[in-house]
Protein backbone atom coordinates (compact mmCIF):
# COMPACT_ATOMS: atom_id res chain seq x y z
CA UNK A 1 0.00 0.00 0.00
CA UNK A 2 2.86 2.39 0.74
CA UNK A 3 4.10 2.12 -2.82
CA UNK A 4 0.64 3.03 -4.07
CA UNK A 5 0.49 6.07 -1.80
CA UNK A 6 3.79 7.58 -2.90
CA UNK A 7 6.49 6.40 -0.51
CA UNK A 8 8.55 5.29 -3.50
CA UNK A 9 8.72 8.98 -4.39
CA UNK A 10 10.00 9.89 -0.93
CA UNK A 11 6.63 10.99 0.43
CA UNK A 12 5.60 10.05 3.95
CA UNK A 13 2.01 9.02 4.61
CA UNK A 14 0.78 10.07 8.06
CA UNK A 15 -2.90 9.54 8.81
CA UNK A 16 -4.27 11.49 11.77
CA UNK A 17 -7.05 10.30 14.07
CA UNK A 18 -8.84 11.88 17.02
CA UNK A 19 -9.38 8.40 18.49
CA UNK A 20 -7.42 7.23 21.48
CA UNK A 21 -4.00 5.66 20.94
CA UNK A 22 -5.45 2.26 21.94
CA UNK A 23 -8.26 2.54 19.36
CA UNK A 24 -5.80 3.55 16.64
CA UNK A 25 -3.51 0.63 17.55
CA UNK A 26 -6.48 -1.75 17.29
CA UNK A 27 -7.33 -0.43 13.82
CA UNK A 28 -3.72 -0.54 12.62
CA UNK A 29 -3.49 -4.21 13.66
CA UNK A 30 -6.95 -5.11 12.32
CA UNK A 31 -6.45 -3.52 8.89
CA UNK A 32 -2.68 -4.25 8.80
CA UNK A 33 -1.86 -0.68 7.81
CA UNK A 34 1.83 -0.34 6.97
CA UNK A 35 2.33 3.22 8.18
CA UNK A 36 2.29 5.05 11.51
CA UNK A 37 -0.65 7.16 12.67
CA UNK A 38 -0.68 10.44 14.55
CA UNK A 39 -3.16 10.70 17.41
CA UNK A 40 -4.86 14.08 17.87
CA UNK A 41 -7.56 13.67 20.54
CA UNK A 42 -7.80 17.45 21.03
CA UNK A 43 -8.35 17.83 17.25
CA UNK A 44 -5.85 20.64 16.90
CA UNK A 45 -4.97 19.54 13.35
CA UNK A 46 -8.65 19.18 12.47
CA UNK A 47 -9.19 22.83 13.45
CA UNK A 48 -5.97 24.00 11.77
CA UNK A 49 -7.04 22.42 8.48
CA UNK A 50 -10.59 23.74 8.74
CA UNK A 51 -12.29 20.36 9.12
CA UNK A 52 -15.83 20.82 10.36
CA UNK A 53 -18.66 18.55 11.30
CA UNK A 54 -21.24 16.78 9.18
CA UNK A 55 -24.91 17.41 9.67
CA UNK A 56 -26.90 14.61 11.28
CA UNK A 57 -28.77 14.24 7.98
CA UNK A 58 -25.52 13.73 6.08
CA UNK A 59 -24.18 11.23 8.64
CA UNK A 60 -27.39 9.26 9.26
CA UNK A 61 -29.65 10.03 6.29
CA UNK A 62 -30.81 7.55 3.63
CA UNK A 63 -27.60 7.70 1.60
CA UNK A 64 -25.49 6.85 4.66
CA UNK A 65 -27.80 4.00 5.67
CA UNK A 66 -27.77 2.49 2.16
CA UNK A 67 -23.98 2.81 1.96
CA UNK A 68 -23.54 1.12 5.35
CA UNK A 69 -25.90 -1.73 4.40
CA UNK A 70 -24.10 -2.20 1.08
CA UNK A 71 -20.75 -2.51 2.85
CA UNK A 72 -22.15 -4.99 5.36
CA UNK A 73 -23.75 -7.12 2.63
CA UNK A 74 -20.39 -7.24 0.86
CA UNK A 75 -18.73 -8.43 4.08
CA UNK A 76 -16.66 -5.29 4.54
CA UNK A 77 -15.56 -5.12 8.15
CA UNK A 78 -15.83 -1.81 9.94
CA UNK A 79 -13.01 -2.58 12.34
CA UNK A 80 -12.71 -3.43 15.99
CA UNK A 81 -14.32 -0.23 17.32
CA UNK A 82 -16.12 2.81 16.00
CA UNK A 83 -15.28 6.44 16.52
CA UNK A 84 -17.24 8.12 19.29
CA UNK A 85 -17.90 11.19 17.12
CA UNK A 86 -19.35 10.17 13.77
CA UNK A 87 -20.06 13.79 12.81
CA UNK A 88 -16.39 14.84 12.75
CA UNK A 89 -15.32 15.27 9.15
CA UNK A 90 -11.97 14.12 7.89
CA UNK A 91 -9.85 15.48 5.10
CA UNK A 92 -7.03 14.60 2.77
CA UNK A 93 -3.99 16.83 2.56
CA UNK A 94 -0.57 16.67 0.94
CA UNK A 95 2.19 18.85 2.34
CA UNK A 96 5.62 19.40 0.86
CA UNK A 97 8.86 19.06 2.83
CA UNK A 98 8.51 22.67 4.02
CA UNK A 99 5.02 22.09 5.40
CA UNK A 100 3.22 23.93 2.59
CA UNK A 101 -0.14 22.41 1.66
CA UNK A 102 -0.03 21.36 -2.00
CA UNK A 103 -3.35 19.49 -2.05
CA UNK A 104 -6.40 19.85 0.17
CA UNK A 105 -9.73 18.08 0.11
CA UNK A 106 -12.40 18.74 2.72
CA UNK A 107 -15.27 16.38 1.90
CA UNK A 108 -18.78 17.57 2.79
CA UNK A 109 -19.66 14.28 4.48
CA UNK A 110 -18.09 11.20 6.05
CA UNK A 111 -18.83 9.11 2.96
CA UNK A 112 -17.09 11.41 0.46
CA UNK A 113 -13.41 10.97 -0.32
CA UNK A 114 -11.30 12.16 -3.24
CA UNK A 115 -10.45 9.61 -5.90
CA UNK A 116 -7.33 7.61 -5.10
CA UNK A 117 -5.84 8.73 -8.42
CA UNK A 118 -6.11 12.40 -7.34
CA UNK A 119 -4.21 11.70 -4.13
CA UNK A 120 -1.56 9.66 -5.91
CA UNK A 121 -1.04 12.41 -8.50
CA UNK A 122 -0.82 15.08 -5.78
CA UNK A 123 1.80 13.00 -3.96
CA UNK A 124 3.83 12.49 -7.13
CA UNK A 125 3.70 16.16 -8.12
CA UNK A 126 4.70 17.23 -4.62
CA UNK A 127 7.57 14.72 -4.50
CA UNK A 128 8.84 16.07 -7.83
CA UNK A 129 8.54 19.62 -6.52
CA UNK A 130 6.26 20.56 -9.40
CA UNK A 131 5.22 24.21 -9.24
CA UNK A 132 1.66 24.60 -8.01
CA UNK A 133 1.64 20.92 -7.09
CA UNK A 134 -2.11 20.37 -7.18
CA UNK A 135 -2.36 23.50 -5.03
CA UNK A 136 -5.70 23.83 -3.38
CA UNK A 137 -7.08 20.48 -4.44
CA UNK A 138 -10.80 20.07 -5.05
CA UNK A 139 -11.91 21.94 -1.92
CA UNK A 140 -9.59 24.94 -2.05
CA UNK A 141 -6.65 26.01 0.05
CA UNK A 142 -6.57 25.65 3.82
CA UNK A 143 -8.07 28.43 5.87
CA UNK A 144 -5.81 31.27 6.94
CA UNK A 145 -4.28 30.77 10.38
Q: Comparing 1 with 78, which gets the higher pLDDT? A: 78
pLDDT tens across 5-40, in order?
Answer: 545 566 777 788 888 888 888 888 888 888 788 889
User: What pLDDT does 142 receive?
Assistant: 44
pLDDT tens across 78-99, in order?
Answer: 655 565 787 888 888 888 888 8
Second CATH level (architecture) for the domain 2-139? 3-Layer(aba) Sandwich (3.40)
Average pLDDT score over the chain? 76
Q: Is residue 4 pLDDT above 60, yes or no?
A: no
Residues 66, 102: Cα–Cα separation, whole Å:
34
Highest mean pLDDT pick, 3-7, 66-70, 100-104, 126-130: 100-104
Amino acid sequence: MRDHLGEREGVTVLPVSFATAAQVDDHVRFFQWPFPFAVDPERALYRAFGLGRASAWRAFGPKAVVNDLWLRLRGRAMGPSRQADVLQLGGDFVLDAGGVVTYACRPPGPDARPPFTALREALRRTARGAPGSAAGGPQGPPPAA
